[in-house]
Amino acid sequence: MTDNLKITETVKTAVDAIAEKKGLDIKVIDISNISIMADYFIIASGSNVNQIKAICDNLREKLGKTNVYPRHIEGNENTGWVLLDYTDVIIHIFDEESRTFYNLERIWSDGKDVAF
């Protein structure tokens, strides 16, 4: 399996895990041509702290089943923003207010929106 295929499968698994817990407004941005930090950002929202926690727990469980583990995690459901760093894929789970405030979609608008 090539690295690109593994990365694509990681993105697909992550998007499915977020959707399974009813994550809101899931966006996948390909940043591979504009940044060396990762190939993809996944951005999604949860409507409350319990949902954000459920989304993050489900991500870790589903990706862990594919032997993909976070290199680093920042924040928690109580901070309004959780970042899960899977090296090539960085996942941002926000509450709705924090997502609007930080507006990562605008900051990374040079990236390419990808449908999964």
Average pLDDT over residues 43-51: 96
Superfamily of domain 3-114: Beta Polymerase, domain 2 (3.30.460.10)
pLDDT at 77: 83
The pLDDT value recorded for residue 116 is 81
Taking each helix axis as running N to C, give the angle between helix 3-20 and helix 49-64, from 0 to 180 degrees, rounded to the nearest 10. Answer: 140
CA atoms of 23 and 17, how far apart (whole Å): 9
Helices (H), the chain: 3-20, 49-64, 96-102, 104-107
What would the pLDDT profile of 60-95 be if each residue is shown by its tens digit?
999 999 999 999 999 988 899 999 999 999 999 999
Q: What integer pLDDT is reported at residue 59 of this predicted model? A: 98
Pairing of strands 89-95, 40-46: parallel
Percent of the chain with pLDDT strictly greater than 70? 98
What residues does each domain of the chain span? 3-114
